[in-house]
Amino acid sequence: RGMGRVQLFEIRLSHGRVVYSPGEPLAGTVRVRLGAPLPFRAIRVTCTGSCGVSNKANDAAWVVEESYFNSSLSLADKGSLPAGEHSFPFQFLLPATAPTSFEGPFGKIVHQVRATIDTPRFSKDHKCSFVFYILSPLNLNSILDIEQPNVASATRKFSYKLVKTGSVVLTASTDLRGYVVGQVLRLRADIENQSGKDTGPMVASLLQKVSYKVKRWIYDVRTIAEVEGVGVKAWKRAQWQEQILVPALPQSALPGCSLIHIDYFLQVSLKAPEATVTLPVFIGNIAVNQAPLSPPAGPGPPPGALPPAVPSAPPQEEAEAVAGGPHFMDLVSLSTKSHSQQQLPPATLDSVPGAPEPGPQDCSPTPHPLAPPLCISTGATVPYFAEGSGEPVPAISTLVLPPEYSAWGYPEEAPPSYEQSCSGADPGMTPRN
């Protein structure tokens, strides 16, 4: 009986907008169509922004919540609405501190408008809601040391043929520390194989780590893109250069939210011997100002890298080292075996039609031209492309796989974080307990 009376009850935002910036006015109308008169005690509209996190994946019963804003307007006082169409305009001012919308398996930041027709006792109240998205642009230039070279090194000593020892020096660098969606991340790895044994293949992965604060931090780490290169021959110094197109991803850190924190890393690993270098990278909405540090041409190490070490060999290796000596300083360029990302056609990223749906893997840009794309979901394990049906080709490497949701758990002590292994990471951007 109640729903026959209320034929339509909906919220419409002005100009069909879905994405807003903090500090902007949000205007719209509540529309009601009645088949019969409806007595009511109040008609209200509320605009809220909040974050909820849970320790179970995809569970809407939040364990911890945080509210950013909650404003209510009364659209009509006690009375009776006649049959027919009614339209109630409203306007809210979004706070300047509202965080960017986000949706992940263990929590979300949701902004919405709700309307209620409060009816007399014994009648069911009528409710409707509409989710909108906030993009608070992250200016990469506001991050400390964003223009500094991004480089790190690892040395791995190992034994082979029972009695021999050797070492591998792995140095990795990226052209920038911060990127925007659609920008190309250029990576470079320099490997010195100071041994008589060939190494296993190289793998570079762009990793996303989302931390959710539910009593303790829960970490959800996934691989966004992956490239695999070949190994390095004995006594050779090699260089590998590759690029990864940054897909639509939520911004680093999620400033303004204290329950969810997002970090990105570029991890470069060598198999057999196992050596790994992890570089922090930031994903934002306003690009780094200065011209990227182009990786230097020729065999020199990247800026800030250690000078190439000369292979020091134990006595039993001397003959081998001398035999391999003349070739050691020749720089070999490594080829790429597989790339989990196909190259995009030269299309603009903001040409995608349609506005975001609240689907879990939604990464649509805003409908406004030249606005930065908004991605509200955690990175899919498959990169997102704006155009073309290019299915990404999975890499063959199993070095870094995204954990299944069931694989997380919170140990008594938080695992050593990537932040701790990246001494260059800005402490202001990492979650604190």
- In this prediction, residue 270 has a pLDDT band, given cuts at 50, 70 and 90, of very high
Q: Residues 219, 83: one domain? A: no
Q: What is the mean pLDDT of residues 239-265?
A: 94
Q: Select the highest-mean-pLDDT range: 2-16, 235-249, 282-296.
A: 235-249
- In this prediction, residue 350 has a pLDDT band, given cuts at 50, 70 and 90, of very low
Please name the residues in contact with 264: beta carbons below 8 A apart, sequence gap of 6 or more. Answer: 206, 207, 208, 209, 224, 249, 252, 280, 281, 282, 283
Q: What is the mean pLDDT of residues 379-396?
A: 33
363 falls within a domain: no
- For residue 311, is pLDDT > 70? no
- In this prediction, residue 370 has a pLDDT band, given cuts at 50, 70 and 90, of very low
Q: Residues 167, 264: one domain? A: yes
**H or E element, residue 320:** helix 318-328
Per the DSSP assignment, residues forming a β-bridge with 332 are 238
Q: Residues 49, 152: one domain? A: no
- For residue 371, is pLDDT > 90? no
Angle at 120 between CA 114 and CA 126, to 5 degrees: 25
- Of 73, 102, 134, the one marking the end of a domain is 134
Q: How far apart are CA 299 and CA 303, in angstroms?
A: 12
Sheet holding 84-93, edge to edge: 6-13, 25-34, 84-93
Q: Residues 49, 168: one domain? A: no
Please give the model's pTM, rounded to 2 decimal places.
0.73
Q: How far apart are CA 140 and CA 178, in angstroms?
A: 6
Q: pLDDT value at position 379?
A: 58
- Of 249, 284, 319, the one marking the end of a domain is 284
Domain count, the chain: 2
Q: Residues 130, 144: one domain? A: no
Q: pLDDT value at position 324?
A: 44
Which tens digit of pLDDT belongs to each residue from 15-69?
999 999 999 999 999 999 999 999 999 999 999 999 999 988 888 899 999 999 9
Rounded to 5 degrees, φ, ψ at 143 are -90, 135
Q: Residues 280, 144: one domain? A: yes
Q: What is the mean pLDDT of residues 157-182?
A: 94
CA 139 to chain centre: 15
Residue 27, domain extent: 6-134
Rounded to 5 degrees, φ, ψ at 94 are -75, 135
Q: Residues 151, 259: one domain? A: yes
Q: pLDDT value at position 245?
A: 93
CATH number of 241's domain: 2.60.40.640
- For residue 366, is pLDDT > 50? no
- Of 77, 112, 134, the one marking the end of a domain is 134
Per the DSSP assignment, residues forming a β-bridge with 203 are 228, 269
Q: Residues 63, 167: one domain? A: no
52 falls within a domain: yes
328 falls within a domain: no
Q: How many residues are recorded in the chain?
A: 433
Q: Residues 167, 124: one domain? A: no
Q: With b meaning 16 or more CB within 10 Å and e meaning fewer, what string describes 49-75?
A: bbbbbbbeeeeeebbbebebbeeeeeb
249 falls within a domain: yes
Q: What is the mean pLDDT of residues 290-309?
A: 45
Nearest of 274, 277, 264 to residue 204 by alpha carbon: 277
Task: For residue 183, give both structure tokens.
Answer: 């920008």
Q: Residues 149, 239: one domain? A: yes
- In this prediction, residue 267 has a pLDDT band, given cuts at 50, 70 and 90, of very high
